[in-house]
Structure 1
Amino acid sequence: MAGGTWNVTDQPVLPGLYMNFVSAAGNAIQAGARGVVVAPVKAHWGPVGQFVEVGSEAAIRELFQEDESEGATAYSTLYLALLGGPKKLLAYRLAGASATEASVTLQDESGNAVLRVKAKYPGKRGNDFIASVEPSLSLPGSKELKLYEGTALLRTFPLGDGSTLQAAAAVNGDPANAWIVAEALEEGTLADVSGAALTGGDSGIADLTNAEYASALSAFETQDFHVLTLDGVSDAALRTSVAAWVKRVRSEGKGVIAVLGGSAADDTAADAVSKAVARSAAIDHEGVVNVGTGAVLNGRAYSSAQV
């Protein structure tokens, strides 16, 4: 009988249900039955300024990735929110003015720029995309575009005779294409190219300010939800703005609650309790919950703002 501990790099030999374990684990944390939560997040991938429903941990990875380098917050914020068992979780990706899609321009056989291939969303993930145009092995006389992420093949797009109009239609009309868009710049036939890297992608995190959060609050007013949580942000000015917003919308009949907290430094300070009490006293409103302590989950420490 199959047994033992699953290890991705040292896979068990005995037959069993091991191969199903990874997908099952990815869906283990998912939506529950209580209320609607909305959360602004920062990420290196995914739609910007749009509400996206997230129903499982696997969906977080698919929509926003697990990468939380350089200030990204989507994975941990949405993961912790799902642990609370909301009926619906709405994510709203924020990005500053620097947010840009990675792109590459492909040429025809005369060296003219004829097709622009661009990542579907702004973010540094697109900088890992590589496009190759080559003759099709299965359809002699035709070409195909292969899209890689690093060394992993994401998708092969059949391009027919390789004309730019046909290529753009093939890429943009593929319902399974979740990574790139194409724009024909001129009519022509694509030249073969190997390893054309997309560049220039920026996640728009470094220049993100409280103004983007304020704009998000205005967008949140268009949604029906019960709880607002920030993505681990503990800036005092932003807390004040959110509290004022909650007080206003509640006075207008929208009975939402915001859940806020402090920084990891506040949580571990010698006067951590007094800091938490001071935050609560400054807000002093039934529509705002102030979390006063951080936590450790699966070996990772989270601040009270994240909790």
Structure 2
Amino acid sequence: MALGGGTFTTMNKILPGTYINFVSAPRASAALSDRGIAAMPAEFDWGPEGAVFAVESGEFEKRSLELFGYPYTHEKLKGLRDLFRNIRKGYFYRLNTGGEPAKNDFATALHPGTRGNSLRIVIEAAEASTEETPVYDVSTWMDDTRIDLQTVKTAAQLHDNAFVRFQAEATLAATAGANLTGGTDGTAGDAAYQTFLDQIEPYTFHALGCLSDKPAVKALFTAFTKRMRDESGVKFQTVLHRYGQADYEGVISVENGLTGAADDTSAVWWTTGAQAGCAVNKSLTNRVYDGEFEIDTQYTQAQLEEGIQSGGFLLHRVGDETRVLTDINTFVSATEERSSDFGSNQTIRVLDQIGNDIAALFNTKYNGQVPNDAAGRVSLWNDIVRHHQQLQTLRAIQTFEPENVTVEAGDTKKAVVVTDRVTPVNAMEQLYMVCVVA
């Protein structure tokens, strides 16, 4: 007869034998999360309708033709290139809906939009073709780029590709190029922005951008940001164009237009990406604008000062370069509870990092899993302290001591109360120097 064995929960086994539990050694689980995720709705002439879609930075470089309808270097993708200079991932939503896909006798474009009108199908006799048994090389082209080639005997054998769905019942015949036609872009009403916000709500991102110049849309994004940050505890910042009246730390107002187009909102692309990708221990103050738009930087010193006092995020000319004047948001109405420090985006990034990371830590490790007793609360305290020590090592916060964090039982058996005191670090911006000349 075999001896007893296996694992144990309590020491209540009956048979003699060996009972062994293998468990992981305790390790730091309060890791700092990476930044670099942005979300933006926009009008496109190619791409899926009615759904949020994710694009990694590497995908954008390699698959831009498939994802957005244009090669990476195309003028149409200038804004996206500005965005992806600083992010690792983007969530996008096509605002314009109700368009028609381009089509011909052989295929229909995968997505609605005028870009589908640049597709064409070329059918040629294959090398193996005979009069008795015709075989065809069927290729799909976007402008001058061949994007697919299939050798088949009938249309039913064709497989859909990333650009078109083939008509299985079509009769194949040699053609130098059958253009797809009839593609339309549809329209983008204000309601599309609300649909986007409803769909993006479950996603995690660090910056949300909006290119609209309509006050009602900007007010909608501001209200969404306040609700998510203050009521749901989801921390991100929203980048709008010329919306200083938000007066809120979660909203950044880009003031610059473009040269020759003062009201153009394209600077939102780069600013959204730069804010999303800025590390928790860094600032965008004095950051060089390395994008592709001709930013309007015609400001006097007085206008720059006024812009800062109004909570404007400004790009200005320094020699031959365009740089960020100071990394601030629209919060200007300081109170005893909320000092002017909340107007600094570097401060907000630190606070948001703490909020997002500790929420993720609690929800994945403690919520419903760890007893709310002294040992459980000590474990939570240890994780929070360890997290903050990492921030201090990165010089994102300073003068932190473990005693700054307390974890106590709440008013109910399920509740814990954390008191946390942190001092965010900001980058140097002003030098006051007195030189004594002997």
Measured against the shorter chain, the TM-score band is 0.5 to 0.7
Q: Which residue of 1 aligns with 2:48?
A: 47
Q: Which residue of 2 aligns with 1:195?
A: 177
In the alignment, is residue 258 of structure 1 matched against residue 238 of structure 2? yes
Q: Which among 141, 151, 175 is matched to residue 158 of structure 1? A: 151
CA 1:59–1:202: 2 relative to 1, 3 Å: farther
Q: Give the superposition deviation at 1:59.
A: 4.5
Higher relative contact order by CA 8 Å / sep ≥ 6: 1 or 2?
1
In the alignment, is residue 226 of structure 1 matched against residue 226 of structure 2? no
Tell me the amino acid that sits aligned with residue 199 of structure 1: T
Could you list the per-position Cα deviations for residues 13-71 of structure 1 after superposition, in whole angstroms to 9, with x for gaps in the alignment? xxxxxxxxxxxxxxxxxxxx52321111222222232312230462473321459xxxx
Between the two proteins, the alignment pairs up a number of residues equal to 229
CA 1:128–1:134: 2 relative to 1, 3 Å: same
The answer (yes or no) to whether the contact 1:52–1:92 under 8 Å persists in 2 is no
List runs of 5+ in structure 2 lacking aligned partners.
1-33, 258-266, 268-288, 297-311, 316-438
Tell me the amino acid that sits aligned with residue 82 of structure 1: F
Tell me the amino acid that sits aligned with residue 100 of structure 1: E
For residues 92-171 of structure 1, the aligned pairs below 5 Å read 92-97=93-98, 99-106=99-106, 117-140=107-130, 141=133, 142-160=135-153, 162=154, 164-166=155-157, 170-171=158-159
List runs of 5+ in structure 1 lacking aligned partners.
1-32, 68-72, 107-116, 263-278
In the alignment, is residue 76 of structure 1 matched against residue 78 of structure 2? yes
CA 1:78–1:149: 2 relative to 1, 3 Å: closer
SS across alignment from 2:105 = strand
In proportion to residue count, which structure has more strand?
Answer: 1
The answer (yes or no) to whether the contact 1:60–1:75 under 8 Å persists in 2 is no
SS across alignment from 1:285 = coil
CA 1:302–1:214: 2 relative to 1, 3 Å: farther
Q: Give the superposition deviation at 1:128.
A: 1.5
In the alignment, is residue 178 of structure 1 matched against residue 192 of structure 2? no
CA 1:256–1:150: 2 relative to 1, 3 Å: closer
The two structures, once aligned, show a CA RMSD in angstroms of 3.2
Could you list the per-position Cα deviations for residues 172-216 of structure 1 after superposition, in whole angstroms to 9, with x for gaps in the alignment? 2xxxx32211133x4x74344442211011123xx2111111110
Q: Which among 28, 34, 58 is matched to residue 61 of structure 2? A: 58
For residues 199-214 of structure 1, the aligned pairs below 5 Å read 199-204=181-186, 207-214=187-194
Identity of aligned residues (%): 26
Tell me the amino acid that sits aligned with residue 104 of structure 1: N
Could you list the per-position Cα deviations for residues 199-244 of structure 1 after superposition, in whole angstroms to 9, with x for gaps in the alignment? 011123xx211111111011110211121012x3221111011111
Distance in 2, matches of 1:302 and 1:235, equals 21
SS across alignment from 1:225 = coil
Q: Give the superposition deviation at 1:74.
A: 7.1
Distance in 1, matches of 2:232 and 2:206, equals 14
Q: TM-score, normalised by structure 1?
A: 0.64
Q: Could you say which structure has the larger radius of gyration?
A: 2
The answer (yes or no) to whether the contact 1:60–1:78 under 8 Å persists in 2 is no
Tell me the amino acid that sits aligned with residue 172 of structure 2: L
